[in-house]
Amino acid sequence: MNAIILSAAFGVVMMLCSFLIKNKSNFRHIASVALLILLIGNIADTYGYTFFAIDTHGMLQFNRFGLLFNSIAIGSTLLYVLLTGKEIENAGMHVAEYFTLILFVLCGVTLLSAYNNLLTLFLGIEIMSIPLYILTGSDKRNMKSNEAALKYFLMGSFSTGLMLMGIALTYGGTGTFSLEVVRNAPNMYKGLVSFLEILGLLFLLVSMAFKVSAAPFHFWTPDVYDGAPSVFTSFMATIVKAAGFIAFIKLCAVRMAETESVVDWKMIYAIIIVATLLVGNITAVFQQSVKRMLAYSSIAQAGFMLFTLISLNDMAYEGILLYSAAYSLATIGIFAVLVKMKDYTFDGYNGLAKTQPVLAATNTVFLLSLSGIPLTAGFFAKYYMLAAVVKTGNYTWLVITGVLFAAVSVYYYFRVIQAMYFKEGNAETTTIVPSFKYGLIALAAIIILLGIFPTLLLRWLYF
Amino acid sequence: MTLLNMFLDTAAANSAANYLPIGIQIFFAIGFVATMLVLSNFMGPKRKTSDKLETFASGIETHGDARQPMAIKYFLVAILFVLFDVEVIFFYPYAVNFKELGWAGFGEIVLFVAFFLAGFVYIIKKGALNWED
């Protein structure tokens, strides 16, 4: 509860700061402090210190898993702002507004980690998406940014429409908006699942798959990620996407699982996973621009996160937390380096190891983590995901597919490393300040630390 | 007397002749107006000047064309209107449940309005309502 209220309140404060404070560079510091307080507030909430006692009538339900995810999301955002805050200042005219919108997105994220009602799910998704439409189009003079924003807005509102239709239909089928349905209530046919509910859940599945950009609903992703200002792509591809997964998993673990007897949902998930891995990985191989490659790689990574839907056991829940942390941190790092590059193509990275050795080395760590090489957080993230599916005893073929595509992903991640270290060239960057380098080193250190001791993060789930 | 009886009889019979009085009235009404218009046109005085053909602008001389584009930031105004219009809609359920909700409800609605006021202050300070750039 702390995080939801504080993030909204800080958003408003930040918004008012936009005309109260003249000096542009102050916004970054205010946002960092706000995020730090938010993080502390959320941790306090985790250990029972709730600042606001509000009865939500069962519309929100806070548990350790969701609160730990909040901490990961807020912490990643804090690192993101500390590392790339300077670039956010350069993204456009309205600097304070960008931080405001980021805080509002966090409000949506914290709602999504705690929703217990389809209405709050809808609210969370919308609070999360609407600021993103604006952030995507924040580079007003750039046609590509405008195109991306319009495309994102139109497709996003269409999928929102589907979601509302789905919620309406499930309401028609069950007579309640709450996530958990009392199946033996007197007004329901005992043991029967309404056709309307199944149709509604199918609509919900489609719209959630759209939000997390799972194939075959991924078509907006490359254009939007490519067109949006790089700093904001970084935010969209990491924290927001992970929050979408948390919401998706909760929906599947409760509602889809209840209707398992009628529909073989797991087979639908399996098809989506294979399609997502196939489209993401194979298309990423053919990209010439690193930014666009990262867009497709985010689709491919979404495929891995979707494995949770199949397993839905303790290991899977641990895995998705580790995955969102590993993926978010690594992607934030890669984008932080990317925005400093003058040329976003693979050739633009040629010889970066000679001109900027620190950037090249840390970027290598991030790329290794994304491809899932041991001693980086990405390895354990992928390991948890696959091992959780193995534990269920079924779907071994899916695990094998996952491993194969992880191997494919190594190809395009290593192309960047190859360009940085083994190709002749003179990679041009904008000016790099020492504090940025230290930030990158810290980020890389966290990733390696999590890669050696994943329990450093996961033990917070239990005490 | 016989005429009245005739009308009363037809009224009882409920036929088309029933509407004869209305027809007669419409005929006389149109006929009277048409006659008056035609007569006044022929008999009244006439003063034909170019001033009379101009657009009436409360006695002031007209200048320019009425059909020129004017920059109203219509989109912005419309969006802001929607925002505050929706705010008002939220008051209806509160007004209906005013007594039941008591002071707790009052506190919440004040919080809601305060959030909106923050937004209002923001748009004014940002100059969204300044029409002249």
pLDDT tens per residue, range A389-445: 999 988 899 999 999 999 999 999 999 999 999 988 888 888 888 999 999 999 999
Output the DSSP codes for A283-335. HHHT-SBHHHHHHHHHHHHHHHHTHHHHH-SHHHHHHHHHHHHHHHHHHHHHH
CB contacts of B113 in chain A (<8 Å) are: none
Chain-chain contact of A19 with B115 (C-beta, under 8 angstroms): no
Nearest-neighbour CA in chain B from A135: distance (Å):
18
Question: Rounded to two decimals, what is the model's pTM?
Answer: 0.84
B40 and B80 part of one domain: no
Nearest-neighbour CA in chain B from A21: distance (Å):
12
CB contacts of B118 in chain A (<8 Å) are: 12, 15-16
Q: Identify whether the C-beta of residue A318 lies closer than 8 Å to the C-beta of residue A439.
A: no
In a domain, B118, yes or no: yes
pLDDT tens per residue, range A189-210: 656 778 888 999 999 999 999 9
Tokens linked to A103? 């805080």
Interface with chain B: mutation pick from A5, A10, A12, A126, highest number of B CBs within 10 Å: A12
- Report the chain B residue with the minimal C-alpha distance to residue A15: B122
pLDDT computed for residue A393 by the predictor: 86
Phi, psi of A178 (to 5 degrees): -70, 155
In a domain, B29, yes or no: yes
B43 and B6 part of one domain: yes
Nearest-neighbour CA in chain B from A13: distance (Å):
9
Residues in chain A: 463
Chain-chain contact of B118 with A19 (C-beta, under 8 angstroms): no
- Report the chain A residue with the minimal C-alpha distance to residue B121: A16
pLDDT computed for residue B2 by the predictor: 59
Asked which of A89-93, A168-172, A308-312, A435-439 is least confident by mean pLDDT, the reply is: A89-93
Phi, psi of A404 (to 5 degrees): -60, -45
CB contacts of A15 in chain B (<8 Å) are: 118-119, 122
CB contacts of B115 in chain A (<8 Å) are: 12
Nearest-neighbour CA in chain B from A164: distance (Å):
19
pLDDT computed for residue A33 by the predictor: 94
> What stretches of B1-133 show up as alpha helix (H) in DSSP?
2-13, 20-43, 74-96, 98-125
- Report the chain B residue with the minimal C-alpha distance to residue A94: B126
CB contacts of A134 in chain B (<8 Å) are: none
The upper half-sphere exposure of residue A123, i.e. CA atoms within 13 Å in the direction of its Cβ, equals 15
Separation CA A362–CA A379 (nearest Å): 17
Tokens linked to B75? 């989109």
Q: Which residues of chain B have pLDDT under 70?
A: 1-14, 70-72, 132-133
CB contacts of B129 in chain A (<8 Å) are: none
Nearest-neighbour CA in chain A from B80: distance (Å):
16
Separation CA A295–CA A310 (nearest Å): 24
- Report the chain A residue with the minimal C-alpha distance to residue B116: A12
Closest-CA residue to A394 (of A270, A213, A251):
A270
Chain-chain contact of B118 with A18 (C-beta, under 8 angstroms): no
State yes or no: pLDDT of A41 exceeds 60. yes
Nearest neighbour of A19 by CB, restricted to B115, B119, B126: B126
In a domain, B65, yes or no: no
State yes or no: pLDDT of A184 exceeds 70. no
Chain-chain contact of A19 with B122 (C-beta, under 8 angstroms): yes
- Report the chain A residue with the minimal C-alpha distance to residue B120: A16
CB contacts of A93 in chain B (<8 Å) are: none
Nearest-neighbour CA in chain A from B125: distance (Å):
7
Distance, CA of A38 to chain centre:
19
In a domain, B130, yes or no: no
Closest-CA residue to A309 (of A346, A269, A261, A268):
A269
Chain A segment 3-62 residues within 8 A of B by beta carbon are 12, 15-16, 18-19
CB contacts of A56 in chain B (<8 Å) are: none
pLDDT computed for residue B68 by the predictor: 74
Phi, psi of A115 (to 5 degrees): -70, 145
Interface with chain B: mutation pick from A15, A56, A57, A134, highest number of B CBs within 10 Å: A15
In a domain, B10, yes or no: yes
Query: What integer is the mean pLDDT of A233-242?
Result: 93
Q: Identify whether the C-beta of residue A362 lies closer than 8 Å to the C-beta of residue A333.
A: yes
State yes or no: pLDDT of A326 exceeds 80. yes
Nearest-neighbour CA in chain A from B69: distance (Å):
25
pLDDT: is A307 or A54 the higher one?
A307
- The interface predicted TM-score of the complex, written ipTM, equals 0.72
pLDDT computed for residue A187 by the predictor: 58
- Burial degree of A434 (CB within 10 A; 0-12, 13-18, 19+): exposed
| Domain count within chain B | 2
pLDDT tens per residue, range A112-160: 999 999 999 999 999 999 999 999 999 888 899 999 999 999 999 999 9
State yes or no: pLDDT of A327 exceeds 90. yes
Nearest neighbour of A19 by CB, restricted to B115, B119, B125: B125
Query: What integer is the mean pLDDT of A66-75?
Result: 94
Q: Is the peptide bond before A357 cis (omega within 30 degrees of 0)?
A: no
Separation CA A325–CA A447 (nearest Å): 9
CB contacts of A18 in chain B (<8 Å) are: 122, 126
SS3 A423: coil
| % residues pLDDT > 70 (chain A) | 98
The upper half-sphere exposure of residue B65, i.e. CA atoms within 13 Å in the direction of its Cβ, equals 4
- Burial degree of B48 (CB within 10 A; 0-12, 13-18, 19+): exposed
User: Residue B36: which domain range?
Assistant: 2-47
In a domain, B106, yes or no: yes
B38 and B79 part of one domain: no
HEC letters along A389-421: HHHHCCCHHHHHHHHHHHHHHHHHHHHHHHHHH
pLDDT computed for residue A94 by the predictor: 86
Average model confidence (pLDDT) across chain A:
90
In a domain, B11, yes or no: yes
Nearest-neighbour CA in chain A from B113: distance (Å):
13
SS3 A428: coil
In a domain, B131, yes or no: no
Separation CA A109–CA A112 (nearest Å): 5
Q: Identify whether the C-beta of residue A181 lies closer than 8 Å to the C-beta of residue A254.
A: no
What type of residue sits at position A121? L
CB contacts of A19 in chain B (<8 Å) are: 122, 125-126
Separation CA A87–CA A232 (nearest Å): 10
- Report the chain B residue with the minimal C-alpha distance to residue A8: B115
Neighbours of A138 (CB within 10 A): 22
SS3 A11: helix
Interface with chain A: mutation pick from B83, B122, B125, B129, highest number of A CBs within 10 Å: B122
